[in-house]
Chain A
Amino acid sequence: MSRDADLPISHWSRLWLYCFGALILFFLIAPSVIVVVMSFSGSSFLQFPPQSWSLRWYTRYFESMEWREATGVSLKVAIMTTLVATPLGSAAAYAVNLKTLRYGNVALAVLVSAIIIPVILIGIGVFFLYARLGLNNTFTGLVIAHTALALPLVVMTVLAGLRSYDMDQERAARSLGATPLRAFIEVTMPQISLSIIAASLFAFITSFDEVVVSFFTSGGDMSTLSRRMFTSLRDEIDPTIAAISTCLIILSVILLSVAHLVGASRTRES
């Protein structure tokens, strides 16, 4: 690959750049690593490096009814959001990609609008509307709001997959007698499945990590994990949250690795 060949600038003269870059990478990654290490601290406040090691904060997390409930709510809402947002977003992306609608681009703009609207505005707006509809502190309410927040990423990811796919293949299948649904499921879907998987990961993480809208529209028994963490952090820096954070970081690592694998095989295909 000639493009990747080195320019006639020695690595030595670029040493300052490498040092600076490494420092910034350290700045990006260090806080998470330090929290993970600290979460195993045995003392009553967080130390680095810990003087003694223990799992006391994890025990505290798993034994606490409140944290367990909140984790359950978050997981349930995130899974439901994924199950709703992925098909809805994929269907919408498919429709936009057909280009038969005159206002297809307007529809696309509306679908992805949530990504540019400040989330605080969505938070108070949804709270205000839900107060009228009786949807505050309900599972349905949370799933609807999170689905709207997840749709932009789902639609854009699936649309990108569809754009690199040749729709003539589906047309060929239909001209050979397949029903539209069967043509989609048997011909199109396998070829955009990686985009759909990536989209569903985005939907899950969007919902699971969402703070602001959950802060306004959930409470009591329906508090999500992120909401409970947020309200708890406003009062004090609770070491239990280090243990929860570690679990969340592990979740991100898993999702990132899956997304990376999916992305790698997606580039290999195209």
Chain B
Amino acid sequence: MLSSQVNATVDGGLNQDTLRREARRETWKAFALLSPGMAVVCLAILVPIGWLFALSLFDEQGRPSFENYARLVEQRSYIQTFITTFQIAFTVTGVCIVLGYPLAYMLSQLPRRIAQIGLICVLLPFWTSVLVRTYAWLVLLQRRGLVNTWLTDLGIVSQPIAFINNFNGVVIGMTHILLPFLVLPLYASMRSIDKDCLRASLNLGASPIAAFWQVFLPLSIPGLVSGVVMVFVLSLGFYITPALMGGGRVVMWAMRIEQTASLYTNWGAASALGVVLLVTTLIILGLFQWRLGSRAAAAWNAR
């Protein structure tokens, strides 16, 4: 017994001990470096959301129940909110694809130097406050705003069109804000498509249109999907633009949460709405990760 211990020490056990101690110290160091950041995230993200989750499981008398969740599927006004939210999210995503795909395609085909200038036009709004951009649209689209003035002066319409305080206004504003989220990953993934593939297909007799549909488009799908998921998920939880441009008539999910919490001070119901929104978001992101996780991640990293 004793001799084996001695042997171990002689055979480098001492060294092993030192190494182990060193490794433990490294672990502690890593832990110590992580903990302040983790503490902040716990305090401002995990604890509040955990608390909301707990609140959602109690009714207004403080008894545990699923009443808050049952109400979401029973009450008409909540169902209407969900319908509006998904309608807007799908419309915004669709418009973003229609506008973003050709833009990203054009930028990816231009020489890098010229594409840089175009990218600045995409990045500048991306870096500008959402509030500023929403304000710009409010100014442009209001009843006596620039767009309506021009339209009436040109004789296109006789009456000013109502752009704000309705569905259209929310869609225009949100599309403008979310478009860069689609264009940037898509552009990056299109840039990484080898032009030789296209050249090869053209050499083999494909028409430029066929080359686009059969070679370029499939290769750009991962980038497109990651942009689409980003835009869709962000529009589901969007608050600022619908709150300002919907004029209280277009009530989206996030606004509903805010109203339920601050107007009706029904924290249980607001929390339930929030939990369902979070779970929906996570499911969409999870599906996306599962189906084309690595390829899309590559598209994001290529940024």
Known: A120-B258, A121-B52. A180 touches B131 (CB 8 A): no
CB atoms of A120 and B274 under 8 A apart? yes
Q: Is A107 an interface residue (CB 8 A)?
A: yes
Known: A122-B48, A147-B44. A20 touches B27 (CB 8 A): no
CB atoms of B125 and A29 under 8 A apart? yes
| Cα of A233 to Cα of B179 in the assembled complex, Å | 23
Q: How far is the CB of A126 from chain B (nearest CB, A)?
A: 5
- Classify the secondary structure of B's interface with A: helix
Q: A119-134: which have CB < 8 Å to B?
A: 119-129
Number of chain A residues whose Cβ lies closer than 8 Å to a Cβ of chain B: 87
Q: How far is the CB of A37 from chain B (nearest CB, A)?
A: 11
| Cα of A233 to Cα of B125 in the assembled complex, Å | 20
Q: How far is the CB of B232 from chain A (nearest CB, A)?
A: 12
Known: A34-B146, A100-B27. A3 touches B102 (CB 8 A): no
**Which of A53-61, A185-193, A242-250 sits within the interface?**
A242-250
Q: Is B277 an interface residue (CB 8 A)?
A: yes
Q: Is A96 an interface residue (CB 8 A)?
A: yes
Residues of A within 8 A of B23 (CB): 100
CB atoms of B31 and A101 under 8 A apart? yes
| Cα of A125 to Cα of B54 in the assembled complex, Å | 11
Q: Is B254 an interface residue (CB 8 A)?
A: yes
Q: Is A145 an interface residue (CB 8 A)?
A: yes
Known: A7-B199, A107-B38, A118-B277. A21 touches B118 (CB 8 A): yes
| Cα of A258 to Cα of B23 in the assembled complex, Å | 40
CB atoms of A32 and B136 under 8 A apart? yes
**Which of B12-20, B57-65, B153-161, B235-243 sits within the interface?**
B235-243
Residues of A within 8 A of B218 (CB): none
CB atoms of A255 and B127 under 8 A apart? yes
- Nearest residue, chain B, Cβ from A101: B30
Interface centre among A48, A84, A92, A260 (most CB of B within 10 A): A92
**Which of B67-75, B76-84, B278-286 sits within the interface?**
B278-286
CB atoms of B195 and A7 under 8 A apart? yes
CB atoms of B267 and A256 under 8 A apart? no
B37, B133, B136: the one contacting A89 at CB < 8 Å is B37
B33, B45, B112: the one contacting A4 at CB < 8 Å is B112
- Nearest residue, chain B, Cβ from A132: B51
Residues of A within 8 A of B44 (CB): 122, 126, 144-145, 147-149
Q: How far is the CB of A83 from chain B (nearest CB, A)?
A: 13
| Cα of A73 to Cα of B179 in the assembled complex, Å | 31
Residues of A within 8 A of B258 (CB): 120, 123-124
CB atoms of B105 and A17 under 8 A apart? yes
CB atoms of B285 and A116 under 8 A apart? yes
Residues of B within 8 A of A114 (CB): 41, 45
| Cα of A110 to Cα of B244 in the assembled complex, Å | 32
Known: A100-B27, A111-B41. A124 touches B136 (CB 8 A): no
Contact with A along B127-142 (1 / 0, CB 8 A): 1111111111111101
CB atoms of A104 and B30 under 8 A apart? yes
Residues of B within 8 A of A7 (CB): 109, 195, 198-199, 202, 208
Q: Is A261 an interface residue (CB 8 A)?
A: no
Q: Is B8 an interface residue (CB 8 A)?
A: no
CB atoms of A117 and B124 under 8 A apart? no
Q: A1-25: which have CB < 8 Å to B?
A: 3-5, 7-9, 13-14, 17-18, 20-21, 24-25
Residues of B within 8 A of A5 (CB): 195
Q: Is B29 an interface residue (CB 8 A)?
A: yes
- Nearest residue, chain A, Cβ from B248: A234
Q: Is A220 an interface residue (CB 8 A)?
A: no
Q: Is A262 an interface residue (CB 8 A)?
A: no
- Nearest residue, chain B, Cβ from A38: B139
Residues of A within 8 A of B243 (CB): 230, 234
Residues of A within 8 A of B298 (CB): none
| Cα of A122 to Cα of B65 in the assembled complex, Å | 24
Known: A34-B140, A205-B127, A209-B129. A98 touches B26 (CB 8 A): yes
Known: A111-B37, A124-B52, A256-B123. A32 touches B103 (CB 8 A): no
Q: Is A91 an interface residue (CB 8 A)?
A: yes
Residues of B within 8 A of A203 (CB): none
CB atoms of A230 and B131 under 8 A apart? yes
Q: Could you write out 29 A-B pairs with CB less than 8 Å apart?
A: A3-B196, A4-B195, A7-B208, A8-B199, A18-B106, A21-B105, A24-B103, A29-B125, A31-B176, A35-B139, A100-B23, A100-B27, A101-B34, A107-B34, A111-B38, A113-B46, A118-B237, A125-B274, A128-B55, A148-B44, A151-B37, A211-B130, A229-B131, A230-B243, A241-B135, A245-B135, A248-B129, A252-B127, A259-B127
